[in-house]
């Protein structure tokens, strides 16, 4: 964003403010679309529409993709609202590639196991987090992709977590 700010003659703060506005609008739009799809799904149940037809409509409306986009936009929005800085040199392809890597590839000691552990993100008395490809906490309901998990576990910034996942020179380690 830094170079684009210079090109367009705007401050980084102004650009960040516009991005936050965009993210808020986009999240609202996606939530509305998902909400109405869920209402239609419930109406189809009440009207006796077959399970296969309901699932077909659900996936044709691409609801799983919309939910994934909503999560990404929501995560970025929270990051920016907390004062996070996206001033990085990572391209989208590198970030997307890092997101696809299973947690077990970053932490080989977890390979071949279904891990049950304490969530380091909040006070936990009993193991409530499960790791198998991604991490999920049954206590708080939060799902962690590999980048989230590495940031949390090793207390790294976003850029450093992606670098850690991808290895030196951004070549996949696993």
DSSP 67-99: HHHHHHHHHHHHHHHTT--------HHHHHHHH
The pLDDT tens digits of the residues spanning 76-132 come to 888 788 776 665 567 778 888 898 898 888 888 877 777 888 887 788 788 888 888
Examine the domain organization and report whether 67 and 137 are in the same domain: no
Closest CA to 158 of 73, 90, 97, 68: 90
Q: How far apart are CA 50 and CA 39, in angstroms?
A: 16
Q: What is the per-residue pLDDT across 145-160, written as a single tens digit (0 to 9) for each?
A: 899 889 888 888 888 8
Q: What are phi and psi for residue 83, nearest 5 degrees?
A: 90, 10
Instruction: For residues 117 and 162, state if they share a domain.
Output: yes
Per-residue pLDDT reduced to its tens digit, 26-65: 999 999 999 998 899 899 999 999 988 888 887 777 888 8
Long-range contacts of 22-29 (CB under 8 A, 24+ apart): 23/73, 23/76, 23/77, 23/80, 24/77, 26/73, 27/70, 27/73, 27/74, 27/77
Q: Are residues 66 and 104 in the same domain?
A: no
pLDDT value, residue 121 = 79
Q: State the residue range of the domain holding 65.
A: 2-81
Please tell me whether residues 103 and 42 are part of one structural domain.
Answer: no
- Whether residues 61 and 100 share a domain: the answer is no
CATH of the domain at 153: 3.90.580.10
In a domain, 87, yes or no: no
Do residues 45 and 101 share a domain?
Answer: no
Q: Is the pLDDT of residue 170 over 50?
A: no
- Residue 63 placed within a domain: yes
Which residue carries 């993100």 as its tokens? 121
- Do 37 and 71 fall into the same domain? yes
């Amino acid at each position: 964003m830094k170079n684009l700010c210079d090109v367009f003659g705007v401050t980084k703060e102004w650009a960040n403010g516009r991005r936050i506005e965009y993210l808020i609008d986009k999240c609202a739009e996606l939530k509305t679309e998902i909400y109405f799809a869920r209402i239609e799904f419930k109406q189809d149940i009440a009207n006796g529409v077959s399970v296969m037809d309901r699932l077909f409509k659900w996936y044709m409306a691409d609801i799983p993709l919309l939910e994934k986009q909503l999560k990404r936009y929501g995560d970025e929005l929270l990051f920016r609202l907390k004062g996070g800085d996206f001033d990085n040199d990572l391209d989208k392809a590198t970030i997307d590639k890092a997101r696809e890597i299973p947690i077990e590839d970053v932490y080989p000691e977890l390979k071949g196991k279904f891990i049950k552990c304490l969530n380091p993100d909040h006070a936990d008395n009993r193991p409530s987090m499960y790791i198998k490809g991604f991490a999920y906490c049954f206590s708080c309901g939060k799902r962690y992709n590999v980048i989230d998990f590495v940031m949390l576990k090793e207390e790294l910034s976003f850029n450093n977590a992606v670098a850690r996942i991808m290895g030196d020179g951004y070549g996949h380690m696993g």
